[in-house]
C-alpha cells in the first residue's frame, strides 16, 4: 500500500492546517470531512481506492491536528482556510489580483482538483466551488448538509423540537447536544461518543474495534462544536430564504456535481437531499447508495468507491 503522510502548513491568518496525502498520478482529489470527524476518517478510502489516484484529506480548523486560534461564524471562513491551503501546497494555481490564474505552484494542466465533501464538509465544498470555480474540476456531495443548511433546533425538557435556534448563544447552551458532546470530548468519554455514533451513524455496520477506538480518540480533538452547529444552521446558498437569506451562490457552481444519498441515512434527511437536488436541478447527477447510512465509508466502501471513481474518471484530465 502507498504510504500516507500527515503534513502541516501555516496560513496567513495564523492557523495551522493539517492534512493527509497519498501520492498518485491523477488530478488531485481533495476530501473534506464532516462534523465530529477529521481527515482520519477517510483512512479506509486512502487504503482501498485505486493507487493511481492522488488523494488529500484536510483537517478543518478546530478538528484533528489543525489549530483553532480563532472562532468562526460561517463556513465561509473554513472555505478560505481550504482555499489558501490548496494554494500553499501547490495543487491549484494561486489567483492573481485581477482574478486570473497564474502558473505559479500549478500541479496539473489547469490547476483544478476534484472535491469530495462529506456532511458538513459538503457545505465547505459547495462554497469552494462557488467562490473559486477555477479550482474545482468536479464536486461530489456525500451525505451532505442541504444547500439550505442544517437546522439546529432548540429542544424542550423532553427533547421535543420547539423552534430553530437563532443565535450562537442558544447553540452553546443546548443541553441535549452541544453541552454533553463537548463534555464527552473534554473527558474523552468514549462510551458516550460510541453510543451517539451507534445510534445515528453506525446503525448497521461498524469499523473494526481498533479503528473505531482510533476514530473516537480523534473525535475528541474537535474544539469548535458550537461554531459548526451555528454555521450549518445559517448556511444557505440557495435562492430560497429561511433562517438566513438565500445567497443564490449555488448558481455560481459550474463544476460537474454528483449528489450521493445514503438510503438509510439518519443524519441527513431525504428532504435535505431533495433540497440539494432541486437547487442544482439538471446540473447535478444523483445516486442512491443502497444499504448505506450516513457513513458509506464503513457501510459499503466498494459501492462508494465504484460510484466515486466512475464520476471522477469522467471529468479528470490525467
106-142 pLDDT tens trace: 344 356 999 999 999 999 999 999 999 999 999 999 9
What's the pLDDT score for residue 104?
35
Q: Is residue 158 part of a domain?
A: no
Q: Is residue 214 part of a domain?
A: no
Give pLDDT tens digits for 183-233: 999 999 999 999 999 999 999 999 999 999 999 999 999 999 999 999 999
| pTM, entire model | 0.94
For the chain, the domain total comes to: 1
160: confidence class by pLDDT, cuts 50, 70, 90:
confident
Q: Is residue 182 part of a domain?
A: no
What's the pLDDT score for residue 317?
87
1: confidence class by pLDDT, cuts 50, 70, 90:
low
Q: Is residue 188 part of a domain?
A: no
What's the pLDDT score for residue 159?
74
Q: What mean pLDDT, rounded, does the chain reach?
A: 93
Q: Is residue 267 predicted with pLDDT exceeding 70?
A: yes
Domain that holds residue 33: 5-150+235-315
28-55 burial, b at 16+ Cβ within 10 Å, e below that, comes to bbbbbbbbbbbbbbbbbbbeebeeebbb
What's the pLDDT score for residue 214?
98
Percent of the chain having pLDDT more than 90?
88
Q: Is residue 213 part of a domain?
A: no
22 - beta bridge partners?
55
Q: Is residue 49 predicted with pLDDT exceeding 90?
A: yes
Q: Is residue 252 part of a domain?
A: yes
Q: Report the residue count for the chain.
A: 318
What's the pLDDT score for residue 94?
79
Q: Is residue 124 part of a domain?
A: yes
Percent of the chain having pLDDT more than 70?
94
Quickly list H helices, the chain.
43-48, 75-89, 120-131, 168-172, 178-187, 190-200, 209-219, 225-234, 270-280, 296-299, 301-315
Q: Is residue 280 predicted with pLDDT exceeding 50?
A: yes
Q: Is residue 83 part of a domain?
A: yes
CATH of the domain at 272: 3.40.50.1820
CA nearest to 199, candidates 297, 293, 301: 293
Amino acid at each position: 500500500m502507498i504510504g500516507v503522510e500527515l503534513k502541516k502548513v501555516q496560513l496567513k491568518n495564523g492557523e495551522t492546517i493539517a492534512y493527509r496525502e497519498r501520492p498518485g498520478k491523477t488530478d488531485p482529489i481533495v476530501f473534506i470531512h464532516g462534523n465530529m470527524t477529521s481527515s482520519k476518517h477517510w483512512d479506509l478510502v486512502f487504503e482501498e481506492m485505486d493507487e493511481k489516484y492522488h488523494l488529500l484529506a484536510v483537517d478543518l480548523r478546530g478538528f484533528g491536528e489543525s489549530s483553532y486560534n480563532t472562532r468562526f461564524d460561517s463556513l465561509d471562513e473554513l472555505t478560505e482556510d481550504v482555499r489558501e491551503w490548496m494554494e500553499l501546497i501547490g495543487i491549484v494555481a494561486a489567483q492573481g489580483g485581477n482574478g486570473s490564474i497564474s502558473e505559479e505552484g500549478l500541479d496539473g494542466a489547469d490547476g483544478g482538483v476534484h472535491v469530495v465533501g462529506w456532511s458538513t464538509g459538503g457545505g465547505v465544498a459547495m462554497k469552494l466551488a462557488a467562490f473559486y470555480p477555477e479550482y474545482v474540476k468536479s464536486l461530489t456531495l456525500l451525505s451532505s448538509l442541504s444547500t439550505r443548511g442544517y437546522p439546529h433546533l432548540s429542544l424542550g425538557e423532553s427533547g421535543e423540537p420547539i423552534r430553530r435556534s437563532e443565535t450562537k448563544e442558544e447553540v452553546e447552551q443546548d443541553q441535549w447536544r452541544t453541552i454533553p458532546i463537548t463534555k464527552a470530548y473534554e473527558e474523552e468519554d468514549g462510551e458516550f461518543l460510541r453510543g451517539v455514533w451507534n445510534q445515528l451513524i453506525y446503525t448497521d455496520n461498524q469499523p473494526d474495534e481498533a479503528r473505531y477506538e482510533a476514530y473516537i480518540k480523534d473525535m475528541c480533538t474537535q474544539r469548535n462544536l458550537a461554531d459548526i452547529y451555528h454555521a450549518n444552521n445559517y448556511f444557505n446558498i440557495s435562492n430560497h430564504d429561511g433562517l438566513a437569506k438565500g445567497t443564490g451562490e449555488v448558481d455560481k457552481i459550474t463544476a460537474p456535481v454528483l449528489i450521493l444519498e445514503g438510503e438509510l441515512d439518519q443524519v441527513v434527511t431525504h428532504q435535505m437531499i431533495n433540497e440539494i437536488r432541486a437547487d442544482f436541478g439538471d446540473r447535478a447527477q444523483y445516486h442512491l447508495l443502497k444499504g448505506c447510512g450516513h457513513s458509506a465509508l464503513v457501510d459499503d466502501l466498494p459501492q462508494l468507491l465504484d460510484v466515486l471513481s466512475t464520476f471522477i474518471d469522467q471529468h479528470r484530465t490525467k
